[in-house]
Amino acid sequence: MTPPTMLEADFAVARRSFDVAAQLSLAPGERLSLFGPSGAGKTTCLEAIAGTAPLRTGQVHLDGLLVNTAKAKRPRRGALVEQPAELRHRGVAVIRQPTTLFPHLSVRKNVTYGLGARAHSRGGALEELLERVGLGDLAWAMPDALSGGQRQRACLARAIARPFRALLLDEPFSAVDATSRAMLRTIAVEAIRREEAVAVLVTHDLGEAQAFGHRIGIMENGRILQLGGTEQLVRQPATLRVAELCGNRSFVPHHSGRLWALHPDRFMVGAWPDKGLVLSGRILSVRPYGPRFACEMQPFSHQVERSGGDGHQGGELCLGSGIDPGQVVVNLHVDSPPRVGDLWEVTSLSPPLVSRVSLAGDEEG
């Protein structure tokens, strides 16, 4: 039996340079992250799903309700055209970018805006919600007085304060510090679970996308290039472009015909926040390189420890099948030369440090 679908979307939105098209189907409780560079059409996707952007073709259904449909160019006379549900009946909660708090209402009134008469009966729950998103002291502040991060907190509280069928988040935590971001994400995820709603999050931070979604769609130029599980996208990018968009900077050809994709942050190991992510290994060779020195280092392991904090992602060196991690060599450029045989730790505080990774025995060049 196929799981029931909550959100069924298949649409194209006309934009100046290209159409934004997507085909999505989400089950109740499912969270999808849309990830991609700026201008990829992610926000347009959200607007199409919310039904606030006119479609060129296609339809969007949420919980059996038509929320968006393409307008027929010339509707046949007498033909009944199904109209999308009114905005207020859609059960769509949005967090936009930039944030859209009502500037003439206090934080508290913003959050209770959608509650109507229920606001009073939920007084206690409301205080708790404000407290949880970290706005307990700012309940009566006006939006103009808030920082960007505080505004995003208030928007989250407003969005989840009333029942919803879909939560659409556009860069919802971009101005929030890393620690609070994890907390806010948890609050959002709990609300989605509680409502058995669907959620679509738009971000250009892959870590954010992975942490939030069950699945990730990677977008560019209005298309979803790949839609898959959070690990699948990173470990098995379908195309070179997807691998690039995931942040892999260098690609090392392997004799199997596959490529190694190497990510400047991702393959760095460790969990010491003061140092950043750390890769440790043994120095194989050192030679002068301009004013600096070029060394080769063999990492101890390609395994990456999951760091406790949420800011950085763990993972592992992303290897094609049949590659022995022992063969990996990291090329470094450093100011003061280590000795061959030294144990070294390379931090990712300066990503350009690692210029290239090659297989042991590969020709340099």
Partner 1 sequence: MSQLSRRAVGRIPAAAAIVAAALVWVILLGPLAVLLTQVSPHSIRQSLDQPGALAPLWTSLEASSVALGCMVVLGTPLAFLLARGRLRAARVVEAGIVLPLLMPPLVIGLLLIFLIGQAGPVGRVVSGVDPNVFGVNTFFALVVAEFYESAPFYIITAAAALTTVDARLEQDAQLLGDRPLSAFRKVTLPLAAPGLATGLAIAWARAMGAFGAVLIVAYNPTGLPLQIDESFIANGLNAALPFALLLIVAALPLPLIALLWSTRALGRRRSEVAVGAGS
By the criterion CB under 8 A, which residues form the site for partner 1? Answer: 50, 52, 86-88, 90, 92-94, 96, 100, 102-104, 113-114, 116, 137-138, 141-142, 144-146, 158, 162
90 or 181: CB nearest partner 1: 90
**Residue type, position 319, single letter:** L
CB of 250 to partner 1, least distance (A): 41
Residue 307 near residue 314, CB atoms below 8 Å: yes
Phi-psi region of 309 (alpha: psi -120 to 50; beta: other; left: phi over 0): beta
Complex with partner 1: residue 56 or 109, whichever CB lies closer: 109
| DSSP H or E stretch at residue 244 | helix 240-245
Minimum CB distance to partner 1 smaller for 49 or for 319: 49
| Cβ closest to partner 1, residue 96 vs residue 215 | 96
Min CB(193)–partner 1 separation in Å? 21
Beta carbon nearer to partner 1, 79 or 117? 117
Task: Give me the long-range contacts of 178-187 (CB less than 8 A, separation at least 24).
Answer: 178/309, 178/310, 178/311, 179/309, 179/310, 180/134, 180/149, 180/153, 181/208, 181/310, 182/211, 182/310, 183/134, 184/133, 184/152, 184/153, 184/156, 185/211, 185/212, 187/132, 187/133, 187/156, 187/160
Nearest approach in angstroms of CB 90 to partner 1 is 7
In angstroms, rounded to a whole number, what is the distance separating the alpha carbons of residues 349 and 327?
25
The nearest distance, CB 138 to partner 1, in angstroms, is 7
Amino acid at 290: G
Helix (H) or strand (E) run with residue 35 in it:
strand 31-35
Nearer to partner 1, 102 or 272 (CB): 102
Cβ at position 227, least distance to partner 1 in Å:
26
Question: Do 24 and 6 touch, CB atoms closer than 8 A?
Answer: no
In the complex, the smallest distance separating the C-beta of residue 115 from partner 1, rounded to whole angstroms, is 8
Beta carbon of residue 155, minimum distance to partner 1 (angstroms, whole number): 9
Comparing CB distances to partner 1, the nearer of 51 and 222 is 51
Cα 239 from chain centre: 19
